[in-house]
Chain A
Amino acid sequence: GENVEQHPSTLSVQEGDSAVIKCTYSDSASNYFPWYKQELGKGPQLIIDIRSNVGEKKDQRIAVTLNKTAKHFSLHITETQPEDSAVYFCAASMAGFQKLVFGTGTRLLVSP
């Protein structure tokens, strides 16, 4: 089955810096890659996603890149703000399968 690895497990940055979180997946059949932000005591919130027919997608300060050959994808947050502090999860799913396979999460701390 699919396996998703996520790095780093924790990331501390200063406000205004950029943050990058990386994930790798094992099954080349995976074709949908969402990113979720989870704040303390809340459910995960979808912040951006990408499909395998696209190499990059941007939404304001957030971007995701996908390298199908290397089977890895990354989340980029620019001009970080304290409210970006949360746990971020990547996930992958395969065509025809409905479940998401999640990475183990990255705790991002943005210091003022």
Chain B
Amino acid sequence: GAGVSQSPSNKVTEKGKDVELRCDPISGHTALYWYRQSLGQGLEFLIYFQGNSAPDKSGLPSDRFSAERTGGSVSTLTIQRTQQEDSAVYLCASSLSAGGGEQYFGPGTRLTVT
């Protein structure tokens, strides 16, 4: 079946602009997660959703970052006033339910801030 999809696959933006990254989870998965992977680094948790609620936003690096999820499906991660240090691969994952264990990742969005 279809896996987690993300769009765009690549995004180049100028410093100071806003960007929106999209994630479509696996159908039927109620939990959705955002992670960030900087060049050559491990994955850093940003936020997770159970349904449309975000019980844990502890990983968002600043108030320039926000995320929402509507209809218990698609999620959008928004970065306002982008900075060069925001350049990274943003990965989305979904699982059957929060605490359900297995998280399945999408291919990621590579963000480059010039």
Contact = CB atoms under 8 A, between A and B. Distances in A.
A12 to B, nearest CB: 17
B91 A98 contact: no
Interface magnitude class on chain A? 20 to 34
Contacts, number: 62
Nearest to A36: B105
Given A34-B102, A43-B106, A99 B33 contact: yes
Interface string B36-65: 000001111100101000011011000000
A90 to B, nearest CB: 9
A42 B99 contact: no
19 contacts: A6-B42, A44-B91, A44-B105, A46-B102, A49-B101, A51-B101, A89-B42, A97-B56, A98-B48, A98-B50, A98-B98, A98-B99, A99-B33, A99-B45, A99-B58, A100-B33, A101-B45, A102-B44, A104-B41
Given A6-B42, A44-B105, A99-B58, 11 more contacts: A41-B107, A43-B4, A43-B91, A43-B105, A89-B42, A98-B48, A99-B59, A100-B33, A104-B41, A105-B41, A105-B42
